Structure 1
């Protein structure tokens, strides 16, 4: 029989997971909300298209450049306190974006720097809190990120219209971030983790020479490239090749992005139970391949189906990549290092995807070359994933 004390203990055990899910809800919306209101930002701040393109590319570059420093920050402050500091930085960056043109660029750099640190440390915090049961928590946080991206894209224009300003609409993301800051602060009071010496420079770079780690990094980076290429260009492909209206194209993009939320709750715990994850890699790549082929061969035949399939593929690949970070590392510290390496290399790789597809579109005046490139990338993602899915661990000295 379940007693009242047992129920209370269960609730207390779930509190850290709830805090992490709330923090994850702040990790995609603040920059996913920029794309839908780019024209409004350009009019409001008198910015040319080239400058607006820089705003959309900054987040991925910041992710790649800042991620390697997250384990060092955690070593100096403690894991939970580093997350708290990073959430505070996100809040400061959102506020800074209200300060005109300079504030938009500076605030974007600041807030995405904070997001990068939380991105890296969430799997390590989950592992520290829940040990071998952490895969389900990582799944919940990645699902929260997918929901965040969908909310950011879907609410951007309504919030801008409601406030009468694109910048003011973006600033409303300060509300959930403030709630997350308070929640993380309360968790830090319950988890007074101590700072530890940061890893030696040789230890930090050793992971870059490990074959298992490199395969995880490659899979993470290539699946991120596919996702951000979809986030940037799928509406354009649907409008141009499938004859879809801009409004419907935006809705289909939001649908594709939000599919990752329920998948993130299912994929990590199930994949963690398997000895190897190669089968899950195949399952995650197949829908994306079908979507790309559909967009190439018959884009107007079933645009909704292609968007849903693309969302299924990318929505399952991201939580699988995060799960592989957990499964291939030996302890909390190594999880943090592998997460940092995967996200640093991965997001720098991902930043090339939207640029390359856009460049091919400009050169060829069509989307065919870009879609073929994404199929080639998907083949490389499959190969890297099959290698990362083998039941091996990163070396103990990495």
Structure 2
């Protein structure tokens, strides 16, 4: 075989695992991001109250938090690639189950988000297993694919519902890309069938994160940035309408812009942040814009709503891929990466589920958005504090 042919074959072998992992990541947000734009239609088709619909939208974050701690144990038992594959299978089954009326909507949402939680936790470890010290670039591609998945899910929700003839059928159509991801991950799993599973966690490793300062700082940073992001996703449009006098259509467009800013940040932040031992400058880059954006919404919301939105979106767009990068940078091996990813995402998504609820309750009690914005300002200050601690060039303890 000639040298160019050998190089091409090597390039394909390097690219194909990344392609399979990115394909999985592209399916990890759209199936539940598509629900929000279809809530009114789902309520009419399934005769669901507003409260019941609110539970449907809260279930994914709660499931992420509850299921994430068990993903490393699943990988230790089945193998890393098989565990990710099982997560994709559960995702596909949950999408199909949502066809079964109201019980199916709730049960399917739990099943599919459980599968997503497993893949969320294990994809960073899978990237590390495939690419070692070069995994930051692949992680950036994975996080960018997740951001794109959320945008695609929200943007195509109504067109797919129209194409399918109902909201429920529109949600079913998301099984098509998931099946493609299933085939890709199945091929990668088969190619790695001889790879031994990561070692089981040492005794007490699940709770050791609460005693290790580095792991705790990474976990809290993940949690606070998640709360900030999901509070933005839930309430920013309402704040812009009420406080800045923006029309509903324009507010929705500004929110879409803020969410879309996470896509380029996801591609840039992991490889650049991984080049240096410490990531303190990136923590500042991810938190200071959010502080400025929230302060603007508090002090002069109508003066520059586009600027406040962009600042909020830039900061949250940087913070999520940075949180994922810190999980890689602060751990020693594949097994430890999976365990820290599990703890960070478990705590993070449970914290994130409380954020939108707290802001909404404060608005209901006070009739204004200022108390909720002050709460978010405090959360971002805490995010900055723990982020600077997590960014210091140290590794978590051996037992975590």
TM-score by length of 1: 0.97
Q: Which residue pairs with 2:150 in the alignment?
A: 149
- Residue 191 of structure 2 is aligned to residue 208 of structure 1: no
Q: Determine which of 218, 232, 235 is the counterpart of 1:233.
A: 235
* Correspondence for 2:269: 267
CA drift of 1:164 comes to 2.6
Match of 2:251 in 1: 249
Cα pair 1:59 1:112 within 8 Å, conserved: yes
1:277 corresponds in structure 2 to: 279
Aligned to 2:16: 15
How do 1:142-221 residues align onto structure 2 when only pairs under 5 Å count? 142-192=143-193, 193-195=195-197, 198-221=200-223
Match of 2:61 in 1: 60
Separation in structure 2 between the aligned mates of residue 273 and residue 189 of structure 1, nearest angstrom = 33
Instruction: Tell me what 2:76 maps to.
Output: 75
Q: Distance in 1 between matches of 2:305 and 2:161?
A: 28
Query: Unpaired runs of 5+ in structure 1?
Result: none
Cα separation, 2, equivalents of 1:273 and 1:196:
26
Moved over 4 A (4+): none
Deviation of residue 205 (structure 1)? 2.2
Contact 2:226–2:349 (8 Å) recurs in 1: yes
The residue number in structure 2 matching 1:120 is 121
- Report the Cα offset of residue 201 of structure 1: 4.0
SS at structure 2 position matched to 1:151: helix
For residues 353 and 220 of structure 2, the distance between their equivalents in structure 1, rounded to whole angstroms, comes to 14
- Answer yes or no: is the 8 Å Cα contact 1:154–1:254 preserved in 2: no
Give yes or no for contact 1:86–1:114 (8 Å, CA) kept in 2.
yes
TM-superposed CA distance for 1:90, in Å, is 0.2
Alpha-carbon deviations, 1:53-96, whole Å to 9, x = none? 11111111100100000001001110000000110000000111
Q: Which residue of 1 aligns with 2:304?
A: 302
* Greater Cα shift, 204-213 or 220-229: 204-213
Q: Is the 8 A contact 2:231 2:355 kept in 1?
A: yes
Cα distance in 2 for partners of 1:226, 1:55 equals 20
Maintained 8 Å contact 1:70/1:120: yes
Q: CA deviation at 1:165?
A: 1.1
Is the Cα contact below 8 Å between 1:284 and 1:317 reproduced in 2?
yes
Deviations 1:223-254 (A, max 9, x none): 00001001111111122222222222222222
Which of 352, 355, 361 lines up with 2:354 in the alignment? 352
Q: Is the 8 A contact 1:263 1:315 kept in 2?
A: yes
Alpha-carbon deviation of 1:216? 0.2
Output the aligned Cα RMSD. 1.4
CA–CA distance in structure 2, aligned partners of residues 8 and 393 of structure 1:
36
Structure 1 residues 9-18 or 383-392, which shifts more?
9-18
Could you say which residue in structure 2 is the equivalent of 1:375?
Answer: 377
| Distance of 1:240 and 1:97 partners within structure 2 | 35
TM-score (norm 2): 0.97
Deviations 1:94-149 (A, max 9, x none): 11111111111111000000000000000100000000011111111011111111
1:208, 1:341 within 8 Å by CA — same for their partners in 2? no
Q: Could you say if the C-alpha distance between residues 355 and 317 of structure 1 is closer, same or farther in structure 2, counting changes exceeding 3 Å?
A: same
- Structure 2 unaligned spans of 5+: none
Counterpart contact for 2:240–2:251, Cα < 8 Å: yes
Q: How many positions carry a matched residue from both structures?
A: 398
Structure 1 residues 220 and 196, CA gap change in structure 2 (3 angstroms): closer
Deviation, 1:196, is 5.5
Does 1:31 find its partner at 2:29?
no
Is contact 2:36–2:57 with CA below 8 Å preserved after alignment? yes
Cα offset, 1:197, TM superposition: 5.7
Cα deviation, 1:313-355, whole Å, max 9, x if unaligned, reads 1110000000000000010000000000000111111111000
